[in-house]
Each structure stands twice: as structure tokens, then as C-alpha cells.
Amino acid sequence: MNFEELKIIEPILKALKKENYTEPTSIQEKAIPLILNKMDVLGSAQTGTGKTAAFAIPILQHLFLDHHRKSKPQKIKSLIITPTRELAIQIAESFTTYGQFTGIKNTVVFGGVKQGPQTRALHKGVDVLVATPGRLLDLINQGFIKLNCVEYFVLDEADRMLDMGFINDIRKIITKLPKRRQSLFFSATMPQNIVDLSRTILINPKKVAVSPVSSTAETIQQSLYYTNKSSKKDLLFHILQDKKINHVLVFSRTKRGADRIARNLKKQNIIAAAIHGDKAQGNRQKTLTKFKTLELRVLVATDIAARGIDIDKLKYVINYDIPNIAEMYVHRIGRSGRAGEKGNSISMCEPEENIYIKEIEKLIDQKIKVIKENPFPQTDKPMTAKEKRELAKAKEQKKQAFFAAKKRKKQNKSNSSKFSKRNKKQI
Ligand code: AMP
């Protein structure tokens, strides 16, 4: 099965190709045709199974095709609610990625940060809104958001929503939605209270289910170094002194981080290269081929770029940082140990990431072996909430200053070009 067979339209196919998605995952194969047929869907699946694309792709397709028929600019036509800020950001990024050639706009709102940037983004007009329940209700109550044009509604990670006490918020949100809409409801588990909730949202739903992602972790040997942020570069070099690790995929959360890691390794005469979304497709393909043919010892990749990578004989995965979504960890380490090979994963955890390790161990239901012989042990403490707030504030100020400087530069440029035109006329 491929995406063409699922009748995905060209602008979305183009984005999927760019992301190196060669074939749909099980949940996508099952859910996409139903959603394209405008059915309500009750999906039993969790993060890591490709669930986001399973609903984002057909929603983008509906919106794109609807657009030509009845364009209602500046109205939210699709609402996705999800329990956590991390998931919300990730879902919005997925809509941006899969919808990059459709012109369909999305934005994301979540609590715990100032609402100004979010309301400004909403004011510009969006087709798709991804939200956590509390902030969504807040902005509805303040009149910044209207849901009366929503045609496609997704409730994501329903069981976590209930666990986190969002049930009343969800009920209130549902009352604001038009009755005529398509609804999709996803949950990793389906206890009775979730089924009951789904009945209040869905009409004649079709059911789809895929097995949980956490099980893949059992077959892979996992180890963990607790270290400091500043020691990671040296620790990675130390780990790679082991000549057994001769073909390894290193994960980095950010694109810039991936470039930096590859650069540092090259300085140490380790043959490495990075791939991520900012590299041209041809360049990515070339790097990947070099890695597959063992010309490269180390490939550094971001999560998104690594998704399309399928290397049968890969034995080692290194997590240079710990993913903040536990399922992502399972996905990362699942890149190794394919086609009967023994898989090994090595994770490098800095103090701020200690909490993610706890969440991962809960998901995979096992403790990850901590390496004691560690020349760079963790000595720093995680930041306090106040320190984190201050850091975020400083970063925001730096960003604002950067954009203000850019705006000033643009303004100066346009003023000087007006001036020179006027001068030319006078001459
Ligand atoms: P999700 O379950 O939505 O969190 O997806 C898990 C990961 O799988 C994400 O990083 C996606 O980019 C990736 N992914 C989703 N669908 C596909 C696909 N068809 N082929 C390759 N990777 C995919």
C-alpha cells in the first residue's frame, strides 16, 4: 500500500515525499480512507504509531478541496484538542509539514505562557487550530476564538485528557461546536468512561485499532548515561571510542543541534554528517546513501528527518538528548535492531531531562540500565521553576530584539529606496 493508493492529493503527496514517507503506517492505512469518506472515527492508537498524520492528512485534504468550493477565510474550520503543550506543538508542526504545499494555515494555543502571541496569530486568520483545553476555553471566554465554523473536530489522547482532569472543559468545548461536523476521537486505551465520552461526540463511528508502540522497546538493549549539558560533546566522543560502534544514528532534537554535533565529530576525525528538514532533498538523499553504504560512521538526524530512514542492519542508536514525549523514545530506539539484528540504544541525559527518563521508564515498563563507568557524571541540578521562567523570558527578549532590529533594517532600506527614486525623478 502506498499513499497514492489512498487517493491523497498531489500537494500533500509532494510533502510526504519530501519527508521521505514511503508508505502509510497501519493506523494511516486504516483511518485515512474512512476520514476521507467523511465518517466519524473512534481510533484506538497512541503517539508513535503515526496517528497524527492519520488525521492531519485527510483533514488537510478536505480543507484543500473545500477551499475551492466555499472559501471562508479567517475562520477556524478544524479544531484539534490534545492534553499537553508538547503534543499540541507537535501536532501543529505536523499540519505545517504535511500541508506545506496546500496554503492551509494553522496555529497552536496552550497554557503556561503569555497569550499575546497566540491571540495575534489567531487574529491573522487560521484554518486549523490545535489547542489544549484550558487555554482554549479561556480564549473562547475572552472572545478571541469562535468555533461556530468548525467542520472537522479531533479529540486526541482522550484517556490522558480524562486522567488530567479535563473532562468538564471538554464537555464545555463540545457545546460550542456546530452539530453538523465530522469528529475523530483517539485514545490509547478504551475503558468504559472513554467509550461513554466518545458516544457524546461521535455519530455512528467506525472503529480502528493498532497495537501500542511501547512493546518494541523490549527487544533492544538500552543504556543510559546521566551527565551535564556541557559534557555531552565529550561524552559522545568518549562513547564513540568504542570501535564496535561503527555505524550509528545519533538523534538531536533540533536542526542546529544536529549540525553542531556533526561538526564537532568531524573535528575529532569521526566521519559524520547531519540530515534535517533544512537540507535540500538531494543533499539528504546523498547523505543517506553514504550512511547506508557505510561510508559514514555517524549520521546525526532530527526526529522528523529520521522517520523516513529505514536501515536494516543498524545496530546502534544514540539519543544525544532525551525526547520530551516518551513514545518518541520508543520510536527512536526502534530504528535499530531491525531485520533480526540486535539493537542497542545509548541515551545521554542532562539534568533537565531526568524527568523525561521517568516518563519513558513508565511507558516501557522497565528501568533503563545506567552506565556507572562514566567519566562525565551528572553533577548539575535541574533548574528551578523560577530559573526556567527567567531563562524563557531572556530568550523571548532576545527574540523580540532580533525581530525589532530586522524590522528597523527593512524600514531603513525601504526609506532609502524611496529617497533614491525621488532623487532620480528630480534629476
Ligand atoms: P505520531 O504517532 O503521530 O506521533 O507519529 C510518530 C512519528 O512517525 C512522527 O515523527 C512522524 O513524523 C512519523 N511518521 C508518521 N507517519 C509516517 C510514515 N508514513 N512514514 C514514516 N514516518 C511516519
Closest CA to 183 of 156, 153, 203, 161: 153
Would the CA dihedral through 62, 68, 70, 71 be positive or negative? positive
- Distance (angstroms) between ligand 1 centre and the Cα of 48 equals 7
Contact 337, 220 (CB under 8 A): yes
Q: Do residues 56 and 78 share a domain?
A: yes
* Inside any domain, residue 404: no
Residue 101 to residues 182, 211, 422, Cα–Cα distance (Å): 24, 32, 39
Contact 59, 53 (CB under 8 A): no
CA gap 173, 201 in Å, rounded: 11
Q: Do residues 172 and 248 share a domain?
A: no
Beta bridge partners, 370, equal 224
Closest CA to 227 of 388, 392, 373: 373
What per-residue confidence (pLDDT) applies to 90?
Answer: 85
- Distance (angstroms) between ligand 1 centre and the Cα of 155 equals 18
Q: Do residues 90 and 177 share a domain?
A: yes
Compute CA 414 distance to the chain's CA centroid, rounded to the nearest angstrom.
Answer: 38
**Ligand 1 atom nearest 49 alpha carbon:** 2
What per-residue confidence (pLDDT) applies to 321?
Answer: 96
Cβ-based neighbour number of residue 120 at 10 Å = 10
What per-residue confidence (pLDDT) applies to 305?
Answer: 73
| Final residue of a structural domain among 156, 178, 209 | 209
Q: Do residues 130 and 274 share a domain?
A: no
Q: Supply the residue whose CA is at minimum distance from atom 18 of ligand 1.
A: 21
> What angle is formed at CA 403 by the lines to CA 399 and CA 405, rounded to 5 degrees?
115
What strands, in cross-sheet order, belong to the sheet with 41-44? 106-109, 128-131, 78-81, 152-155, 182-187, 41-44, 206-209
3-state secondary structure of 329: helix
- Distance (angstroms) between ligand 1 centre and the Cα of 19 equals 10
Q: Do residues 162 and 246 share a domain?
A: no
As for how many domains the chain has, the answer is 2
Segment-wise mean pLDDT, segments of 10 residues, the chain, 427 residues: 93 93 91 97 84 96 82 82 87 94 95 92 95 96 96 93 87 95 91 89 93 70 96 97 95 93 96 87 83 94 72 88 88 76 91 94 92 95 82 84 87 77 63
CA gap 299, 290 in Å, rounded: 9
- Distance (angstroms) between ligand 1 centre and the Cα of 54 equals 9
Q: Which residue has the cell 457545546?
A: 175
**Ligand 1 atom nearest 308 alpha carbon:** 21
Q: Do residues 90 and 70 share a domain?
A: yes
Contact 57, 102 (CB under 8 A): no
- Distance (angstroms) between ligand 1 centre and the Cα of 229 equals 28
Q: Supply the residue whose CA is at minimum distance from atom 17 of ligand 1.
A: 50
What per-residue confidence (pLDDT) applies to 396?
Answer: 82
What kind and span of H or E run contains 155? strand 152-155
What per-residue confidence (pLDDT) applies to 230?
Answer: 96
Read off the CATH number of the domain in which 310 is found. 3.40.50.300
pTM: 0.66
For residue 175, give every residue at least 6 positions away whose Cβ sits within 8 Å of its Cβ, in sequence order, or none.
none
Mutation to probe ligand 1, out of 184, 307, 325 (largest number of atoms < 8 A from CB) = 307
| Final residue of a structural domain among 370, 389, 422 | 370
Domain limits at 321? 220-370
Q: Supply the residue whose CA is at minimum distance from atom 10 of ligand 1.
A: 304
Q: Supply the residue whose CA is at minimum distance from atom 20 of ligand 1.
A: 21
For ligand 1, residues with CB inside 6 Å are 21, 24-25, 28, 47-53, 303-304, 307-308, 331
Q: Do residues 349 and 313 share a domain?
A: yes
**Ligand 1 atom nearest 47 alpha carbon:** 2
